Amino acid sequence: MFGKSRMTICRLLRPASVAKIKKLVESGVRMEAKRCKPPQYPEVERRIYQEVGMGSRPVTKTEVMAVAEKLALAMHIYDMDTGYNWCLRFINQHGLSIRSA
């Protein structure tokens, strides 16, 4: 069925798996992205995605990191990693196009 084994389909349809996928979709993650790491703070990432234009325009890495730091502080989240690696993962998972600085 659908080119997948029964065990794979059963695993995907478990309540925990469905909840995980719903969280990823709510935070704006493209489901085509491979190895989607669940966001530590999905609400923050959803708001960052909205703040940078939801993929409607190219963004810079520094812009994404600055918006992330600003929103994390505004939401009183002080342990969120908004470094270079996080930024690249965020851009790839959300399908954003990168503008050269």
Tell me what pLDDT residue 66 has: 93
pTM of the full predicted structure?
0.67
Asked if 72 and 45 touch (Cβ cutoff 8 Å), the reply is no
Tell me what pLDDT residue 32 has: 62
Q: Count of CB atoms within 10 A of residue 22's CB?
A: 10
Distances in Å between the Cα of 90 and the Cα atoms of 15, 30, 37, 43 are 26, 10, 10, 13
The residue type at 7: M
**pLDDT interval class at 31 (50, 70, 90):** low
What span, in angstroms and rounded, lies between the C-alpha atoms of 54 and 48? 9
What span, in angstroms and rounded, lies between the C-alpha atoms of 98 and 17? 31
**pLDDT interval class at 18 (50, 70, 90):** confident
Domain ranges of the chain: 6-29+37-94
Handedness of CA 38, 96, 13, 6 (dihedral sign): negative
